[in-house]
Structure 1
Amino acid sequence: MSKGRRLVLSALLLALVQTGFLGWMIVGRAAVLRDGREVLLKVEPVDPRDLLRGDYVILNYEISRIPLTIISDIGEVGERLDSAGKITVRLGRDDDGYWRARSAWIRNPPVGPAGTDEIEIAGQIPPLNLAYIGEDVRVTYGIERFYLPEGEGRAIERDMRVRPFGVRVAVPASGNAQVKALMDGDQVLFREPLY
């Protein structure tokens, strides 16, 4: 086989691998949106703009701050968790339809599965020095941005300051959530497409 032919075959193989990887990422995200359990979270937005993707809102959830008192295995005051790490937060549905944090853990999950009106969502926390932190810890879930059609961001952000908005989130068994829709009360404003 000639050197030129090997180069073409190598380039073709590399292109197939890259395409397959991108397809795998897209199909995985679509599976979460299609099959994940849906929860409604209350948000507090900020409105920036991404030069490549357009308008988006940064979403700050009620569950973005977890009280230390609900983290079952946080450790003793003075202990240091030196590296940022994973946290699992168990959410429960309240009478108003929003889901709120009920319990959380860093290392050891509680005995027993979540109840029928509960779900577990995976998050990340920064390094903690328990001697110096306040009464709660900041948690990120990877669902803090929602992209909107161009020109919609500022109007949405303005409206969010005067009436309650929410976000429908799909949560699979792994706990790695995806934003499904932006809600204005009971009305769906924008829905995230599967593909």
Structure 2
Amino acid sequence: MSGKRLIISALVLALVQIGFLSWIIAGRAAILRNGKEVLLKVQPIDPRDLLRGDYISVNNSLSRIPVKLIANIPPGKFSSDDTPIVVRLKKGADAYWLPTAAWFGQAPTPATADEADIVGHLAEGWDLRSPDMTIAPEYGIDRFYVPEGEGMAIQNDMRVRPFGIKLALSANGAAQIKALMDGETTLFEEPLY
């Protein structure tokens, strides 16, 4: 009798794990399929991960945010604590989206049709005293993996012409990289699953 219970328990545990993984994958696919698309410029950085292969580092216009964009820094607050940050984006004349405002916690108003919000995380200890300082939020979109052998060629091309990443943003600001762009040409696109 205990052998049957053990087998049933193992099957239930396996089904729960499969369900959880499916839920994560489906959530990512939903953002890629239905999210608002924004385009960010990227800059070249060493494109090799020994375990996963070639990638393009997403060092972009969101990598460093000026402190002066943060609208709700409490008086007397000198450094960041471990907190979420919302960055409002607006499409520029060159089709790339740029940060226009930021808030700790939540944005006070929803983004308009020509704006988008991305939610990041700001680690503890960033200096908030000077408006000329910058901070570096983490958005979970720091790498885009490409087929093996492609990373160095793309990195070299990035030094002579603009490249970008197309993001898909959910209504709550979660981001997924959708595609790597060479100007207006899509080089690589993320599959939904």
What TM-score do the two structures reach when normalised by structure 2? 0.92
Instruction: Report the AA paired with residue 186 of structure 2.
Output: V
Identity %: 54
| Unaligned residue ranges in structure 1 (runs of 5+) | none
Aligned length: 192
Name the residue aligned to 2:114: 117
- In the TM superposition, 1:146-185 aligns within 5 A as 146-185=144-183
1:3-59 per-residue CA deviation (whole Å, 9 max, x = no partner) reads 111111111111111111111111110000000000101111313323332211211
Q: Are the equivalent residues in 2 in contact too, given 1:93–1:100 (CA < 8 A)?
A: yes
In structure 2, give the amino acid aligned to 1:53. Answer: R
Structure-2 change in CA distance of 1:133 and 1:104 (3 Å): closer
Taking structure 1 as reference, are residues 131 and 156 closer, same or farther at Cα in structure 2, changes over 3 Å only? Answer: same
Q: Give how far 1:74 is off.
A: 1.8
3-state DSSP of counterpart to 1:115: coil
Mapped contact 2:70–2:103 kept (Cα < 8 A): yes
Counterpart of 1:130 in structure 2 is 128
Cα 1:133–1:84 change in 2 (3 A) is farther
Deviation, 1:83, is 2.4
Which of 74, 83, 86 is the equivalent residue of 1:85? 83
Q: Which runs of 5 or more residues in structure 2 are unaligned? A: none
Residue matched to 1:44: 43
Residue deviations 1:140-164, cap 9 Å, x none? 2111110111111111111111110
Q: Quickly say closer, same or farther: Cα 1:163–1:138, change in 2 above 3 A.
A: same
CA deviations 1:91-117 (Å, max 9, x no partner) are 00111101000111004533x332221
Q: Secondary structure at the match of 2:62?
A: helix
Alignment-derived partner of residue 11 in structure 1: 10
Distance across 2 between alignment mates of 1:108 and 1:178: 20
Q: Which amino acid aligns with 2:177?
A: V
| 8 A Cα contact 1:91 1:119, kept in partner | yes
186 and 132 in structure 1: CA distance in 2 versus 1, 3 angstrom threshold: closer
Which SS does the other structure have where 1:174 is aligned? Answer: coil
Matching residue of 2:60 = 61
Deviations 1:51-108 (A, max 9, x none): 33221121111121111111101233x5244522110010001111010001110045
SS in 1 for 2:58: strand
CA RMSD of aligned residues (A): 1.7
Contact 1:73 1:107 in 2 (8 A): no
1:30 maps to 2:29: yes
Residues 167, 183 of structure 1: 8 Å contact kept: yes
